[in-house]
Amino acid sequence: MARHQDLTAATGVRIFFAERSSPWQRGANENYNGLLRQYFPKGSNLASHSEAHVIHVMRELNERPRKGLGYGTPAARFAKETASIQTR
């Protein structure tokens, strides 16, 4: 994020940096970390997991409904957003 000011100037999107040791400022990130811990225990070596297992976890998490998405899935939201970009 070294060029966050350029991103803000180009898009108008304000960038927010959470303070260190303030997990309540990173709610979505902390929630995702909790979901990942169901598959990969804290401190485990990710290199010990097969690529197939990682892909399985990725698909499972992307197809899991989220309250923040109106109980839609990240995969469906991504597909919708990319489709709208392609039709512009």
Q: Could you report the per-residue pLDDT of 22-67, keeping only the tens digit for each?
A: 888 888 888 888 999 999 988 889 899 999 999 999 999 999 999 8
Residue 12 within any structural domain of the chain: no
Q: Is 71 inside a domain boundary?
A: yes
Residue 74 has pLDDT above 90, yes or no: yes
Is 60 part of a structural domain of the chain?
yes
- Answer yes or no: is 5 within a domain: no
pLDDT computed for residue 22 by the predictor: 87
pLDDT > 80? residue 4: yes
pLDDT at 62: 95
Query: What pLDDT score was predicted for residue 53?
Result: 95
Of 54, 77, 74, nearest in space to 63 by CA: 74
* Two structure tokens written together for 42: 């804290």
Domain that holds residue 71: 22-86
**Residue 4 falls within a domain, yes or no?**
no
Residue 26 within any structural domain of the chain? yes
- The total number of structural domains in the chain stands at 1
54's CB contacts (< 8 A; 6+ apart) are: 46
Q: Give domain status of residue 54, yes or no.
A: yes
Beta carbons of 62 and 75 less than 8 angstroms apart: yes
pLDDT at 42: 87
Could you tell me if 7 and 25 are in contact, meaning their C-beta atoms sit under 8 angstroms apart? no
Distance CA 64, CA 49 (A): 21
